């Protein structure tokens, strides 16, 4: 579990909680939020996010990341 400013991420369950509301996350949503919350005091580049999600140097359309974040 990771907490930051009232947001609680339960990595094991793939859920995020805020103000009593719980939301199930997709695999990619979980990875994105986990990386951002674990590094809340740092800037995470799009390239770092893409490597975390797809763990490959293969070309992944930049819009794919945008869709996952939205």
Per-residue model confidence as pLDDT tens digits over 7-52: 999 999 999 999 999 999 999 999 999 999 999 999 999 888 888 8
Q: How far is the C-alpha of 48 from the C-alpha of 50, rounded, in Å?
A: 5
pLDDT given at position 53: 85
Task: Note the pLDDT of residue 57.
Answer: 63
Token pair in block for residue 50: 């893409």
Q: State both tokens at 29.
A: 């949503």
Question: In terms of residues, how long is the chain?
Answer: 70
Could you tell me the pTM of the whole model? Answer: 0.82
Nearest CA among 2, 45, 9 for reference residue 25: 9
């Amino acid at each position: 579990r990771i907490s930051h400013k009232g947001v609680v991420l339960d990595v094991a369950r793939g859920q995020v909680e805020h103000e009593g509301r719980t939301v199930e996350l997709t695999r990619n949503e979980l990875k994105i939020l986990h990386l951002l919350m674990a590094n809340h005091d740092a800037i995470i580049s799009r390239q770092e996010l893409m490597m975390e999600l797809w763990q490959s140097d293969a070309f992944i359309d930049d819009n794919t990341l945008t869709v996952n974040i939205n």
